[in-house]
Amino acid sequence: MGRGKIEIKKIENPTNRQVTYSKRRAGIMKKAGELTVLCDAQLSLVMFSSTGKFSEYCSPTTDTKSIYDRYQQVSGINLWSAQYEKMQNTLNHLKEINQNLRREIRQRMGEDLDGLEIKELRGLEQNMDEALKLVRNRKYHVISTQTDTYKKKLKNSQETHRNLLRELEAEHAVYYVDDDPNNYDGALALGNGSSYLYSYRTQPTQPNLQGMGFGSHDLRLA
């Protein structure tokens, strides 16, 4: 029994359509290779699937560009003219934009003003005033931010300096006790001319300290 004819129409199921494309693409690539070898033909085959996947085949004895060049010579059709014209238009547009920007820069620097009308001069002046306001606002913001940062650094430095002074005074402290039996006050003082002076007295319930000559008064800060 022979194979039945398959109706040629679009396969609606996406999965079946992709499977069919893959199988037939492989068959076409195989036939193109066989045709190149058997008939010494030069082929260039380009395919795009419905999902945009690109596939190509070109005979080993040539390349795709050479095939396209020969096609243009034989058919008289310029494949690149439309693309070249589009690229040329884009280039001209970019050149015009560049020239306008350069002229605007020169005008903002006070140059190339001879051809401007009074309306254009007023517009240029207004734009420069607005730009100057933005620059000044940004400058004041930067100054304010830097000032706040420096104030915080100065405050931290001052606090660090005070802490170092206190540590230095504590390292140079001199302690002494008055052993005068008639004087019940024991004194503690800081040396090196410091104005910090402390005194303390022992409790009467501390007999161990009584024998050392300390008084019987409460601890206090003079």
SS3 of residue 10 by DSSP: coil
Question: Domain-by-domain residue ranges, the chain?
Answer: 14-77, 79-115, 117-174
pTM listed for this prediction: 0.38
Average pLDDT over residues 151-160: 93
Average pLDDT over residues 150-163: 92
pLDDT exceeds 60 at position 204: no
Higher-pLDDT residue of 22 and 1 is 22
Predicted pLDDT at 174: 52
Average pLDDT over residues 153-157: 93
Task: Give the chain's mean pLDDT.
Answer: 79
* Cα-based torsion angle of the residue sequence 118, 121, 123, 125 in order, rounded to the nearest 10 degrees: -140
Residues in the chain: 222
Q: Is 214 exposed, middle or buried (0-12, 13-18, 19+ CB in 10 A)?
A: buried
pLDDT exceeds 70 at position 217: no
CATH superfamily of 14-77: Transcription factor, MADS-box (3.40.1810.10)
